A and B are shown apart, each in its own frame.
Chain A
Amino acid sequence: MTATTRRALIKGAAAATAMAAAPIPVSAQAEAIKFGILTPLTGAGGQDGPRMLKAIEAVINEVNKSGGVLGRRIETIVEDDQTNPEAAVRAARKLIEVNKVPVIMGTWASAVTSAVAPVCWESKTFLCTVSGADSITQLPHQGYIIRTQPTSKLQATAHAEFIAGMGKKKVAVIGIQAPFALSTKEHLDSVLKSKGAGVVAHVIYEKDKPTYRSEVDQAMRSEPDFLYLNGYAPDTVVLLRDLYKANINLPKFCQSYAVPQKTLDSIPPEVSAGTYTGQPSADIEGKAFNLTAARLGIAEPDSYEAQATDWASLVILTLAKAKEVTGTALRENVRKISQGAGAKVYSAVEGLQLMAQGQEINYEGASGPCDFTDIGDIQGCRFRYMEVVDGKLRFLRVV
C-alpha cells in the first residue's frame, strides 16, 4: 500500500498549476485525431513516399507543439501502399475500418489512387493525392478527393509547349502501362499538332522488365527527333541505358520523378546526357515554400514535399473551421479555407491563430495557391524544367 505523502501532493498541485497556466491547453485526456497516411514506402514510389511522410509529420509536429487542433493532438497512422493497388486497398480498408481515420493522404501512383478512391468515398473518407491521371477526379467521388498535382492534361500541355519550343517535330512516346498513359499521349499530340509537330509513335510497355530493347526499336521505326519517356524511375533507367546502348542520342523528356538526382547518380553521366525533366513547380518564391524549407531543414523542398505539406495544413485548418472530425466535414469545408477573400496564411499554425481570432483565412501553399475546382483539381500551376548535364540536374527555367 502506498501512502500519499505531503511531498507528492505538493508536486501534483504544482504540476496542475503549471498545466493550467500553459498558454494553449491540449487535453491529454481527449483522444488524438488520427490522420491516415497511405504512401509508397516501397516499390516505384519508394523514393518519394518517405519524404512526403516526413513533410506531413513536420507540419503535424509543429501544430501539436502549438496546442493541436480543436484542443486535441494529431497522430499519424502510417501504412505502406507498396506502389501496388491491391496492397493499397487492403491498407486503406485497415485505416478506415480499424483506425477510423477521417482522411487518407499520400497516394502517389495513379493506379493506386484509382483503386483506393472508391473505398474512400464509399466510407466518406477524405483523400489527398499527388496522382496526375485525368480520370481520377472524373470518378464519381462526391467531393471526397483533392489533388494538389496538376492533371495529366495540364502537365502534357505544358510539356508539349516545352518540346515544341525546342523546335522538335516528331515525338515518340514510350510510356509505362498506367492510367495516365493514354490521356498524356493524346494531350501531347493535340498540343503538338497545333504547333505543326506531332506524336509519331506511342509504345506502352510493362513495368519491371530487365530490358526494353525491343520497345526502343519499335519506337525508333518512326524516325522521331525527340523522345518522351513517360515512366517511373526503375523502368526509365532501363530505358535510358537501352537507348544509350542502341547508340540513340536523341534528346529526351522525362517526368522529374522518373529521374531524381539519386537515380542519376546510379547511372554513368553519358547515359543520362540530353535528358530534360519537368515537374509541377513548388511555389519557390512563396512564403509557404520558405517556411516548408525551414521546417524540413532542407534548402529546396521538391514538389512532393511541398504538396504533402499542403495536405497536412489544409486538413488541419479545415478541421478547425468545421469543428468536426469527419471526412464529410473536410469535404464540406476545405474550400472555405483554401480559397476566397480571407486573410492569406502560409502555414497551419498561422491559420489556426487567425481563426482563433475569428478571422476568415485563405491558405496559400508551398506547392501553389491550393485553389480547388469543383472536382478537386488545382486551378493552375507553374512548371519547372531542368536539364541533365554531366549526370547532374541543372535548373533551366520556371514557366
Chain B
Amino acid sequence: MITARDVMEFHLPADGNPLWAETNFFGFNIPEEKINVGIYFLSRPTLGVALASVQIIQGFPRHRIEALYYDEHAHLQLPEKVGDYSLANGLSVKAVNPPMDYLLTYKGNNDTEFHIEFEGLMPPYDITDPEMDPNAPKEKPIKGHFDQTGHFKGTLKVKGKTYKVDSVSTMDHSWGPRPEADYASASWFHVSFGRELTIHSIFGFDPMTPEILDPFAHGYVLEGGKVYGLKSGKGHSTRDDLMQIGMNVEVTDVRDRNYHFTGSAMTGFPWMCWPNTCDFATLMEWNMDGRIGYGECQDVVSMPNIMRRSA
C-alpha cells in the first residue's frame, strides 16, 4: 500500500546504486484539440541530479522540434522532496493531499504555462502489493511502482493560446534501478470514459515482434469509484515501425469481467523519455462497444533494442 510518505519522500537504495532513479509522470489530454501533454520527472537521488521534461504534442511530430512545445532539462539540481518541488526549468509539482491530489504548475518559454489540479479518483495502485494486485510478486521487491487515475482540471497556455483542461487520465510514480543504456520494453496505456470508468494496463513486448503485446503484466479497472485488479490480458498493435497506429486489447479483472476495446491514434510522438530510451507515445481514441473514450499509450523501447531492429 502506498502511503503519504511514499509520495512525499525520496526512496533511497541501501547500496547507494548510482543507477537508482525515482520518477513521476503526469499526462493529460484535450481530445477536441488532439493535444496530449506529458510532464516527466526523473531524479537520481544518489547522484543529486534530476531530468525534467514538458512535452505538448499535437498531430504526429517526427522530432521534438515539430512538437507544439518541448522543454527538456537533464542537469537540474535534485530537490529535497519528490512530493513538493520547484525546478529551475519552471516546473512545480506539489502533493497537496498525499497520496491523492497534486498541484502542477509550469511557466516556460514562448508564453507557455499551465496551472492544473489533479484529483486522485482512487488510491494509488501498488503493483507490488498482493492485496491490491493479483499479479504482484510474492516477495516485496526493492523497487516500487504505482499508477493512479485522476481528474486533471485547469488551464494550459501554449504560445499565447489558452486551453481549458478537463481530462480524466492516469499518473504514475516509480523507484528502483533504472539503467540509462538498456531497458526492457513495456506498453503502458489507459482508456478513460470520464470519471466513471478507466481501464489501465501494462504489457511487456518484444521490439522485434511489436505487434504482439505479451506478457500481460499489471492493470486495473476503476469503475463506479471502486478498483478491481486485472488478472490477465492480451493485446495486438498495428504500427508504423514502432509507433502505434491501432490497438486491440482484451483484459479480465478479478471479478472475471471482460473488457474488449480498440484504439486509434490521434497523436503520435517518439518521445525520448531519457536520451537513451524512446517512448513511442500516442493519444488514443478508444472504442468499447460503441462507447468512445480517450487515453494515452506509451511504448518504451531502449536505444539498443531500436538499433537491433535496424541491424
Judge: A and B partners, yes or no: no
